[in-house]
């Protein structure tokens, strides 16, 4: 089932009585010159979004060295950073239905840049307790998430009206974000070897200048109110918005969304997407082990090099999927990617028990190699999730359903971090005590096999069905 039939009834009939602007005026296709300007503007934004990884290592070591958090506490704080992503659909609703001076995107982008800059400045300037630190981090992440939703919505709008170069927009977004991330992954570690985390926050506060430049380049039509027809009891509406969504009322859309989630193939697929990423992880414990037990405390540039390798390998994973692995059925992809991912996580036991020294493998080579291969496998595992999320979206509700499913992914990551924090605390792993770290690693790795028990919930289909072979003419 690719979509849902339209719900017919009094509500939708009333909507079509509303007098609004002509489609050509509300959703007109932009010119080639305006699209080129748009691509420059949106490209600058996605570069900014990738560059924001610059402060990631600073956040990790600020929690560890400045706040002095325990392993479990640090992982719980890290998990809380996902909270702003759990309300991702709300950002879209605010932007769509509460325009500022008639504009739905650009003013909110400017507000997000102010929030991001202010939070970084306060993080760099104040002596913070844990509570205030968490509040500032939440504000920071909310600014990032909201701005990403706004940028993505602009891209979706251009694709939806068949704008010139629309087919290249998604590749442009992923490519420039990856480029920015690869650039700052190493720079973040290099900076921490020479300055304090607070100094990195101060430098990061300047990055939203790119958002301001982006907003100046992006063009957005100002919404105007028009009066409804005399036969319609509805209030005046923002004309371009109603026209662009085909004249369907929000209540009607919500009814269709509710009907969609009653369908077994949709809620079962959504549940599997949640479970596959919700198992506990021990990433924070491993970071403390690298730093405190293996002696990388004074070589923070190493973490930057590792993150750079991870970013590069993530791109490799995308290329491998597009050119080879996408020909396999979804269940096969999820099965083997999960098995390989579990095996890779179990290899960390070699590191935490010191067996790598017996095998004459240095810790640095093991860490970077393992992280790189794991990044490829995780991307191969994530790409089918993206396809599955798009596949179960009913026709006409693609944006809303996709936002909900991506929020499900964010919720699963939050669950994974909280479960990992609880397990870390239960096993007594601390910044100086790693006796039970092998057990923690094994428990987290083996738990990733549990979602395979409901693998049959996933449609057994090809992501991209191959066309039937052509028969030669007689």
3-state secondary structure 239-292: HHHHHHCCCCCHHHHHHHHHHHHCCHHHHHHHHHHHHHHHCCCCHHHHHHHHHH
- What pLDDT is recorded for position 162? 60
Q: What mean pLDDT do residues 109-115 have? A: 93
Summarised one tens digit per residue, pLDDT across range 192-247 is 778 888 898 999 898 898 888 888 888 777 766 544 444 443 333 343 443 344 44
Q: In DSSP terms, which residues pair with 238 in a beta bridge?
A: 225
24: left (phi over 0), alpha (psi -120 to 50) or beta: alpha
- What pLDDT is recorded for position 463? 59
428: left (phi over 0), alpha (psi -120 to 50) or beta: left
pLDDT at 58 over 80: yes
The segment with the largest mean pLDDT, out of 188-202, 309-323, 421-435, is 421-435
Confidence of residue 25 (pLDDT cuts 50, 70, 90): very low
**Phi/psi of residue 242, nearest 5 degrees:** -65, -40
Three-state SS across the chain? CCCCCCCCCHHHHHHCCCCCCCHHHHCCCCCHHHHHHHHHHHHHHHHHHHHHHHHHHHHHHHHHHHCCCCHHHHHHHHHHCCHHHHHHHHHHHHHHHCCECCECCHHHHHHHHHHHHHHHHHHHHCCCCHHHHHHHHHHHHHHHHHHHHHHHHHHHHHHHCCCCCHHHHHHHHHHHHHHHHHHHHHHHHHHHCCCCHHHHHHHHCCCCHHHHHHHHHCCCCCCCEECCCCCCCCCCEEHHHHHHCCCCCHHHHHHHHHHHHCCHHHHHHHHHHHHHHHCCCCHHHHHHHHHHHCCCCCCHHHHHHHHHHHHHHHHHHHHHHHHCHHHCCHHHHHHHHHHHHHHHHHCHHHHHCCHHHHCCCCHHHHHHHHHHHHHHHHHHHHHHHHHHHHHCCCCCCHHHHHHHHHHHHHHHHHHHHHHHHHHHHHCCCCCCCCCCHHHHHHHHHHHCCHHHHHHHHCCCCCCCCCCCCCCCCC
328: left (phi over 0), alpha (psi -120 to 50) or beta: beta
Contact predicate 234/18, CB 8 Å: yes
At which residue do the structure tokens 């970013």 appear? 311
Q: What mean pLDDT do residues 127-145 have? A: 89
Confidence of residue 413 (pLDDT cuts 50, 70, 90): confident
- What pLDDT is recorded for position 167? 57
Q: What mean pLDDT do residues 241-260 have? A: 56
At which residue do the structure tokens 């991506």 appear? 406
As a whole number, the mean pLDDT across the chain is 76
- What pLDDT is recorded for position 394? 59
Q: What mean pLDDT do residues 106-131 have? A: 90
Alpha carbon distance 143, 115 (integer Å): 6
- What pLDDT is recorded for position 427? 92
pLDDT at 286 over 60: yes
Q: Which residue has the higher pLDDT, 24 or 133?
A: 133
130: CB partners within 8 A, 6+ apart: 67, 69, 73, 77
Lowest mean pLDDT among 217-221, 236-240, 267-271, 457-461: 236-240
- What pLDDT is recorded for position 128? 82
- The whole-model pTM stands at 0.64
Q: In DSSP terms, which residues pair with 100 in a beta bridge?
A: 103
Query: What is the percent of the chain where pLDDT is above 90?
Result: 12
For 89, half-sphere exposure in the C-beta direction (CA atoms, 13 angstrom radius) is 15
Q: What mean pLDDT do residues 382-390 have? A: 63
Lowest mean pLDDT among 207-216, 217-226, 303-312, 319-328: 217-226
Q: Among candidates 405, 378, 373, 379, which has minimal Cα distance to 391?
A: 405
Encoding tokens for residue 329? Answer: 């059925």
Task: Report the 10 Å Cβ neighbour count for 101.
Answer: 8
Q: What mean pLDDT do residues 298-311 have? A: 73
- What pLDDT is recorded for position 115? 94
At which residue do the structure tokens 């003419």 appear? 473
Q: Which residue has the higher pLDDT, 410 or 237?
A: 410
- What pLDDT is recorded for position 462? 67
pLDDT at 395 over 90: no
Q: Which residue has the higher pLDDT, 387 or 318?
A: 318
Confidence of residue 70 (pLDDT cuts 50, 70, 90): confident
Encoding tokens for residue 308? Answer: 């750079």
Query: Longest Cα pair distance anywhere in the chain, in angstroms?
Result: 84
- What pLDDT is recorded for position 442? 94
- What pLDDT is recorded for position 164? 63
- What pLDDT is recorded for position 94? 81
């Amino acid at each position: 089932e690719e979509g849902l039939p339209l719900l017919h009834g009094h509500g939708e009939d009333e909507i079509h009585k509303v007098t609004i602007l002509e489609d050509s005026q509300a959703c007109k296709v932009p010119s080639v010159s305006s699209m080129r300007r748009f691509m420059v503007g949106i490209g600058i934004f996605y570069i900014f979004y990738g560059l924001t990884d610059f402060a990631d290592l600073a956040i990790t070591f600020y929690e560890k060295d400045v706040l002095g958090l325990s392993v479990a506490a640090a992982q719980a704080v890290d998990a809380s950073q996902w909270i702003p992503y759990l309300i991702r659909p709300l950002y879209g609703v605010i932007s769509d239905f509460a325009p500022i001076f008639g504009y739905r995107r650009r003013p909110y982008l400017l507000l997000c840049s102010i929030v991001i800059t202010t939070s970084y400045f306060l993080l760099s300037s104040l002596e913070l307790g844990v509570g205030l630190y968490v509040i500032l981090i939440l504000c920071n992440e909310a600014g990032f998430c909201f701005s990403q939703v706004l940028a993505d919505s602009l891209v979706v709008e251009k694709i939806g009206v068949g704008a010139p170069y629309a087919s290249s927009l998604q590749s442009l977004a992923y490519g420039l974000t990856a480029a920015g991330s690869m650039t700052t992954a190493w720079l973040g570690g290099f900076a921490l070897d020479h300055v304090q985390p607070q100094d990195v926050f101060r430098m990061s506060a300047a990055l939203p200048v790119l958002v301001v430049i982006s907003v100046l380049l992006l063009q957005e039509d100002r919404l105007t109110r028009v009066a409804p027809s005399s036969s319609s009891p509805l209030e005046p509406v923002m004309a371009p918005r109603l026209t662009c969504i085909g004249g369907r009322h929000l209540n009607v859309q919500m009814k269709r969304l509710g009907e969609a989630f009653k369908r077994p193939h949709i809620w079962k697929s959504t549940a599997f997407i949640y479970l596959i990423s919700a198992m506990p992880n021990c990433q924070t414990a491993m970071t403390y082990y690298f730093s405190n037990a293996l002696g990388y405390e004074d070589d923070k540039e190493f973490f930057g090099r590792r993150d750079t390798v991870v970013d590069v390998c993530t791109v490799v994973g995308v290329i491998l999927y597009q050119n080879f692995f996408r020909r396999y059925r979804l269940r096969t992809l999820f099965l083997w990617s999960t098995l390989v991912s579990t095996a890779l996580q179990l290899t960390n036991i070699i590191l935490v028990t010191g067996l790598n020294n017996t095998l004459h493998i240095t810790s640095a080579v093991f860490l970077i190699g393992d992280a790189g291969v794991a990044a490829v496998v995780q991307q191969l595992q994530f790409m089918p999730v993206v396809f599955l999320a798009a596949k179960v979206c009913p026709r006409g509700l693609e944006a809303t359903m996709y936002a909900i499913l991506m929020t499900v992914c964010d919720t699963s990551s939050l669950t994974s971090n909280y479960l990992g924090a609880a397990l870390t605390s239960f096993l007594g792993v601390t910044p100086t005590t790693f006796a039970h770290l092998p057990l923690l690693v094994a428990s987290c790795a083996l738990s990733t096999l549990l979602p395979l028990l409901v693998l049959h919930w996933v449609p057994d289909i090809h992501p991209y069905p191959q066309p039937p072979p052509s028969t030669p003419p007689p």
